[in-house]
């Protein structure tokens, strides 16, 4: 693996003994680079994102940062932002405790994503989906985060809110040199935010 990058080398994934969802696929994201990943449903985009963020181990290949494998315990420098934030939080934790999973966020970061102080004592079920997603994004931006997978992270939001969230995230990514893999069906969005786009035409057929 190359140093100074986030890379999946010759990745392969399938469920049990079933057909390969993708195989022998390599992808590299540089610090501060915004890479869009788009294509039809069922072609393995979200699975690839989960592998790159260390949520699952590939059946074949390896994932690493700066030439070293992703850590198997402790804080992972590659973080995943889910499409459905309610599935990514403990419903019994307050928002304050949820946010502090990634390290205590400063007021500037909270302000950038419009997180109000009153939310911190609430539970996930007491926030709207958009409010909860803002909190999940902030949680993912801990001080040790170097790369992000944003998997359809704003698809449930209105256009104005999407723009606000992406503007805030891109500004922070640029300032901190965070590389982002943005998974989306929204081609205009990816063209607007991405340095380059990878297209998934079908299962086991990636190009970009």
Query: Which architecture, in CATH terms, is 6-207?
Result: 3-Layer(aba) Sandwich (3.40)
Q: What is the CA radius of gyration of the chain?
A: 17
The answer to whether residue 34 scores a pLDDT higher than 90 is yes
Percentage of the chain lying above the pLDDT 90 cut: 80
The answer to whether residue 208 scores a pLDDT higher than 50 is no
4-24 confidence digits (pLDDT tens): 899 999 999 998 889 999 999
**Distance of alpha carbon 104 from alpha carbon 151, whole angstroms:** 24
**Distance of alpha carbon 1 from alpha carbon 67, whole angstroms:** 5
Do the beta carbons of residue 124 and residue 98 sit within 8 Å? yes
38-73 confidence digits (pLDDT tens): 988 888 899 999 999 999 999 999 999 998 999 988
Give the model's pLDDT for residue 196. Answer: 96
Closest C-alpha to 147, from 200, 203, 92, 71: 71
User: Going along the chain, which residue ranges are E strands?
Assistant: 6-13, 22-29, 34-38, 60-65, 68-69, 78-81, 147-151, 179-183, 196-202, 205-207
The answer to whether residue 101 scores a pLDDT higher than 90 is no
115-152 confidence digits (pLDDT tens): 999 999 999 999 999 999 999 999 999 999 999 999 99
Single pTM value for the model? 0.92
Phi/psi for 144 (5° steps) reads -95, 0
């Amino acid at each position: 693996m190359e140093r100074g990058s986030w890379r999946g080398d010759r990745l392969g994934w399938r469920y049990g003994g079933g057909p390969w969802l993708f195989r022998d696929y390599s992808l590299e994201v540089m610090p501060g680079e915004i890479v869009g990943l788009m294509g039809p449903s069922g072609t393995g985009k979200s699975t690839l994102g989960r592998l790159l963020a260390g949520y699952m181990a590939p059946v074949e290949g390896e994932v690493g940062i700066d030439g070293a494998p992703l850590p198997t315990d402790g804080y992972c420098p590659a973080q995943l932002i889910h499409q459905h934030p309610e599935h990514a939080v403990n419903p019994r934790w307050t928002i304050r405790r949820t946010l502090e999973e990634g390290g205590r966020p400063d007021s500037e970061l909270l302000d950038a994503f419009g997180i109000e102080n009153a939310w911190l004592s609430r539970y996930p079920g007491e926030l709207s989906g958009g409010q909860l997603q803002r909190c999940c994004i902030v949680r993912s931006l801990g001080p040790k985060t170097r790369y992000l997978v944003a998997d359809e992270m704003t698809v449930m939001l209105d256009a104005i809110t999407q723009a606000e969230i992406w503007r805030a995230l891109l500004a922070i990514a640029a300032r901190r040199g965070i590389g982002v893999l943005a998974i989306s069906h929204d081609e205009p969005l990816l063209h607007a935010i991405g340095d380059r786009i990878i297209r998934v035409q079908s299962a086991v057929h990636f190009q970009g």
